[in-house]
Structure 1
Amino acid sequence: MTAIEPSWRPDPARVRESRIVRFATWLDTQGRASLDDVTDYRALHAWSAAHPGEFWAAVADFFDVEWSTRPRSALAERRMPGAVWFPGGTLNFGQHLLRAGDDDQESVILVAENGERSSITYAALRTQAAAVAGRLRALGVEPGDRVAAYLPNCIEGVVAFVATAMVGAVWAQTGLDYAAPSAADRMAQLSPRVLIAGSGYRFGGKVHDRRGDVRDLRDLLPGLRHTITVETAGVAGHAAGPGVSTWADALAAEPDPIGVVVGFDHPLWVLFTSGTTGKPKGIVHGHGGVLLEQLVSPGLHMDLSGRDVFFWFTTPNWMMWNAQVCGLLHGATIVLYDGRPTSPGPDALWRLVADLGVTVFGTSPGYLEASQRAGLEPGKDLDLSALRLVGVTGSVLPGTANTWFREHVSANVQLASMSGGTDIVGIFVAGAPTTPVYDGEISAPALGAAVQVWNAEGEEVPAGTPGEMVITEPMPSMPLHFWDDPDGRLLRDTYFDMFPGVWRHGDLTAITERGTVVIYGRSDATINRHGVRLGSAEIYEALSGMPQVEDALVVGVEEPGGGYWMPLFVVPHGDHDPAGLVSRIRRRIAERASPRHVPDEVILVTQLPHTKTGKRLEVPVKRILQGADADRVVNRGAVDNPEALDMLISSARSRRAR
Structure 2
Amino acid sequence: MTLAPAAPQLASFRARCEEVAGTALDAPGALHAFSVERPEEFWRTLLDWSGVPWSGSADVVLTGTDVETARFFPGLRLNYAEALLRPLDGAGDDAPALTAVHADRPADRWTRGELRDAVARTVTALQRLGLATGDRVVLIAGNTGETAVAALAVAAIGAAVSTAAPDMGAASLLGRFGQVDPAVLVLDRRAVPDDVVAEVVAGLPTLRRVLLLDDGPLTDLGLPVDRLADCTADAGPTHDWPRHAFDTPLFVMFSSGTTGPPKAMVHGAGGTLLEHVKEHRLHVDLGPGDTLYFHTTTAWMMWNWQLSALATGAHVVVHDGPVAGPGTLWQLAADHGVTVFGTSPAYLQLGQDAGHRPAEAADLSRLRAVLSTGAVLHDWQFDWVAEAVGPVPLQSISGGTDIIGCFVLGAPDLPVRRGRSQTRSLGLDVAAVDEDGREVVGQVGELVCRRPFPSRPVGFLRDPDGSRFHDAYFADHSGTWTHGDLIEFDADGSSRLHGRSDGVLNIDGLRIGP
TM-score normalized by the length of structure 2: 0.95
Counterpart residue number, 1:522? 500
Q: Identity of aligned pairs, percent?
A: 38
State the Cα deviation string for residues 254-307 of structure 1 (Å, max 9, x = none). Answer: 432312221111111101114785321111111111111011011110000011
Shift of residue 496 of structure 1?
A: 0.8
State the Cα deviation string for residues 573-592 of structure 1 (Å, max 9, x = none). Answer: xxxxxxxxxxxxxxxxxxxx
- Structure 2 counterpart of 1:178, one-letter code: M
State the Cα deviation string for residues 521-541 of structure 1 (Å, max 9, x = none). Answer: 11111xxxxxxxxxxxxxxxx
Q: 1:213 aligns with which of 184, 192, 196?
A: 196
Counterpart CA distance in 1 for 2:409 and 2:304 is 18
State the Cα deviation string for residues 409-438 of structure 1 (Å, max 9, x = none). Answer: 112x11111111111111111111011111
Change beyond 3 A, Cα 1:248–1:240: farther
Counterpart residue number, 1:81? 68
Counterpart CA distance in 2 for 1:83 and 1:367 is 39
Q: Secondary structure at the match of 1:519?
A: strand
Change beyond 3 A, Cα 1:276–1:106: farther
Q: 1:307 aligns with which of 273, 289, 294?
A: 289
Q: Is the 8 A contact 1:9 1:436 kept in 2?
A: yes
Counterpart residue number, 1:49? 36
Q: Is the 8 A contact 1:508 1:521 kept in 2?
A: yes
State the Cα deviation string for residues 83-108 of structure 1 (Å, max 9, x = none). Answer: 02112111111111111442122211
Gaps of 5+ in 2: none
Shift of residue 36 of structure 1?
A: 4.7
Which residues of 2 match residues 102-117 of structure 1 at below 5 A?
102-114=92-104, 116-117=106-107
Q: Secondary structure at the match of 2:154?
A: helix
Change beyond 3 A, Cα 1:220–1:257: farther
Shift of residue 113 of structure 1?
A: 3.0
Change beyond 3 A, Cα 1:27–1:497: same
Shift of residue 213 of structure 1?
A: 2.0
Counterpart residue number, 1:224? 207
**Bigger relative contact order (CA 8 A; separation at least 6):** 2
Counterpart CA distance in 1 for 2:502 and 2:303 is 26
State the Cα deviation string for residues 355-409 of structure 1 (Å, max 9, x = none). Answer: 1110010000111011000111111221101000111111111010000110111
2:393 aligned with 1:393: no
Q: Is the 8 A contact 1:71 1:90 kept in 2?
A: no
Counterpart residue number, 1:124? 114
Q: Is the 8 A contact 1:277 1:635 kept in 2?
A: no
- Structure 2 counterpart of 1:459, one-letter code: R
Q: 1:31 aligns with which of 4, 11, 20?
A: 20
2:450 aligned with 1:469: no
Change beyond 3 A, Cα 1:36–1:499: closer
Counterpart CA distance in 2 for 1:211 and 1:315 is 21
Counterpart CA distance in 2 for 1:323 and 1:334 is 11
Larger deviation, residues 401-410 vs 505-514: 505-514
Q: Is the 8 A contact 1:293 1:476 kept in 2?
A: yes
Shift of residue 240 of structure 1?
A: 7.4
2:161 aligned with 1:176: no
Shift of residue 479 of structure 1?
A: 0.6
- Structure 1 counterpart of 2:200, one-letter code: L
Counterpart CA distance in 2 for 1:445 and 1:185 is 34
2:277 aligned with 1:325: no
- Structure 1 counterpart of 2:356, one-letter code: L
Q: Is the 8 A contact 2:257 2:505 kept in 1?
A: no
Q: Is the 8 A contact 2:85 2:112 kept in 1?
A: yes
Counterpart residue number, 1:485? 463
Shift of residue 65 of structure 1?
A: 2.3
Shift of residue 162 of structure 1?
A: 0.9
Counterpart CA distance in 2 for 1:148 and 1:65 is 27
Shift of residue 230 of structure 1?
A: 1.5
State the Cα deviation string for residues 53-99 of structure 1 (Å, max 9, x = none). Answer: 21111110001221221223111222221102112111111111111
Counterpart residue number, 1:196? 186
Larger deviation, residues 114-123 vs 149-158: 114-123
Say what the alpha-carbon RMSD is for the aligned residues: 1.9
Counterpart residue number, 1:294? 276
Q: Is the 8 A contact 1:273 1:280 kept in 2?
A: yes
- Structure 2 counterpart of 1:31, one-letter code: V
State the Cα deviation string for residues 484-517 of structure 1 (Å, max 9, x = none). Answer: 1111111111111111111111111111133211
Q: Is the 8 A contact 2:265 2:461 kept in 1?
A: yes
- Structure 2 counterpart of 1:353, one-letter code: A
State the Cα deviation string for residues 566-607 of structure 1 (Å, max 9, x = none). Answer: xxxxxxxxxxxxxxxxxxxxxxxxxxxxxxxxxxxxxxxxxx
Q: Secondary structure at the match of 1:76?
A: coil
Shift of residue 143 of structure 1?
A: 0.8
Q: Secondary structure at the match of 2:240?
A: coil
Gaps of 5+ in 1: 1-6, 202-208, 526-617, 621-633, 640-644, 649-658
State the Cα deviation string for residues 21-71 of structure 1 (Å, max 9, x = none). Answer: 11101222x33452252xx45211111121222111111000122122122
- Structure 2 counterpart of 1:333, one-letter code: H
2:494 aligned with 1:513: no
Counterpart CA distance in 2 for 1:141 and 1:36 is 47
Counterpart residue number, 1:450? 429
Q: How many residues align?
A: 507
Counterpart CA distance in 1 for 2:70 and 2:366 is 42
